[in-house]
């Protein structure tokens, strides 16, 4: 086991994970109450390490592992060891991967010293909780409120009248523009921009006239925003991100978008303005979604998929060309350009066949 790692008794770690999961993760310990400090792959684990099994390909490595604690599903214990459970510590858990996620937050939590750095810029009228951390060169503008134990890293900017809840982390160079509202336990990765102006312009005699963006961005609890992701403020109403939603890097959300709870989006997704994404949706990387669309809860959009409309049903939609050799792709593209003309030809042929069938039936009668 590596040095300088903090050890935890597994029963204490289990209790804390149970609390973090709000009692939804079911666990029981077989064997002794060992001391653990980190997770390692089964083939590399040793004393003080934990290994968990989610992929059957690692079953043999798990059986031979020297880890102090094995984390397995109920059905995996007899599958690995038969009826005779070995004399070693095993945590039986209904979701080992979720245990890994919760426990890692405990094992590798870095506590920042509270207070405002002398080289931070906190304007008069800003409210910073005494337990919060404002690092050097961070900016907190007038009217902003920073909650308990929230950390604002160097170079981050919290705009006028922004409200940030407790236990949040604003990493370097992220920006929360004026009047944005953020819940508790949110994470903003470096470079993300929350509450910039939406893309609103009115056409006027060959020119584009800017429309002031008067809404806010409102973000719920337990939301994570990836690096360089941008979420535009609403034009008149608010742009809203629901509780538990996770956004990857370099995503663009337009003004007045409404994203539900526990939605996940992979990198480079773009969603135009005034689109609604329901709870528990999954959006694949580089998907492009048009504006003014309502995507029902539980739907899924595949990677690199263009969405121009949606029905009322919760479904999975995927549409893109798989990679081909250059010549094959050129031929396929040429066929696609011919589809409108081919459609007309097919409709004409259908009409002609129907006419011929009618003539034949008349002759037979």
Contact 149, 131 (CB under 8 A): yes
Is 255 noted as a catalytic residue in this protein?
yes
Question: Which residues have CB under 8 Å from 200's CB, separation 6+?
Answer: 210, 211, 213, 235, 255, 273
Rounded Cα distance between 223 and 253, Å, is 15
Give the Å distances, CA to CA, from 179 to 120, 139, 153, 227, 234.
Answer: 21, 15, 20, 21, 11
Question: Which helix or strand (DSSP H or E) is residue 201 part of?
Answer: strand 201-204
17: tokens are 């994970």
In contact, 51 and 40? CB cutoff 8 Å? yes
| CB count in 10 Å sphere of residue 119 | 11
Question: How far is the C-alpha of 136 from the C-alpha of 131, rounded, in Å?
Answer: 16
Q: From the candidates 117, 255, 262, 292, which is the catalytic residue?
A: 255
Q: Which residues are catalytic?
A: 255
């Amino acid at each position: 086991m590596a040095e300088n790692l903090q050890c935890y008794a597994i029963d204490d770690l289990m209790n804390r994970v149970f609390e973090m999961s709000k009692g939804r993760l079911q666990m029981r310990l077989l064997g002794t109450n060992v001391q653990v400090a980190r997770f390692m792959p089964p083939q590399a684990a040793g004393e003080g390490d934990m290994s968990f099994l989610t992929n059957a390909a690692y079953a043999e490595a798990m059986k031979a592992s020297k880890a102090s604690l094995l984390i397995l599903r109920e059905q995996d214990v007899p599958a690995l060891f038969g009826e005779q459970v070995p004399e070693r510590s095993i945590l039986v858990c209904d979701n080992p991967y979720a245990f890994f996620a919760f426990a890692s937050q405990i094992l590798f939590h870095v506590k920042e010293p509270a207070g405002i750095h002398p080289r931070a810029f906190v304007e008069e009228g800003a409210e910073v909780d005494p337990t919060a951390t404002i690092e050097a060169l961070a900016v907190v503008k007038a009217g902003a409120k920073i909650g308990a134990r929230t950390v604002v890293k160097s170079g981050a900017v919290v705009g006028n009248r922004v409200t940030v809840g407790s236990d949040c982390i604003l990493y370097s160079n992220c920006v929360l523009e004026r009047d944005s509202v953020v819940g508790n336990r949110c994470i903003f990765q470096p470079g993300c921009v929350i509450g910039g102006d939406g893309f609103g312009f009115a056409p006027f005699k060959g020119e584009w006239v800017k429309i002031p963006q008067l809404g806010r961005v409102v973000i719920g609890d337990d939301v994570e925003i990836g690096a360089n992701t941008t979420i535009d403020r609403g034009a008149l109403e608010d742009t809203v991100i629901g509780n538990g939603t996770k956004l990857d890097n370099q995503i663009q959300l337009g003004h007045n978008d409404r994203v539900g709870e526990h939605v996940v989006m992979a990198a480079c997704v773009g969603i135009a303005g005034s689109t609604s994404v329901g709870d528990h949706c999954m959006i694949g990387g580089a998907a492009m979604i048009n504006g003014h669309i309502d995507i029902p809860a539980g739907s899924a959009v595949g990677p690199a998929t263009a969405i121009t409309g949606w029905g009322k049903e919760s479904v999975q939609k995927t549409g893109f060309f798989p990679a081909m050799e250059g010549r094959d792709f050129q031929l396929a593209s040429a066929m696609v350009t011919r589809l409108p003309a081919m459609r007309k030809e097919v409709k004409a042929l259908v009409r002609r066949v129907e006419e011929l069938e009618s003539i034949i039936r008349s002759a037979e009668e």
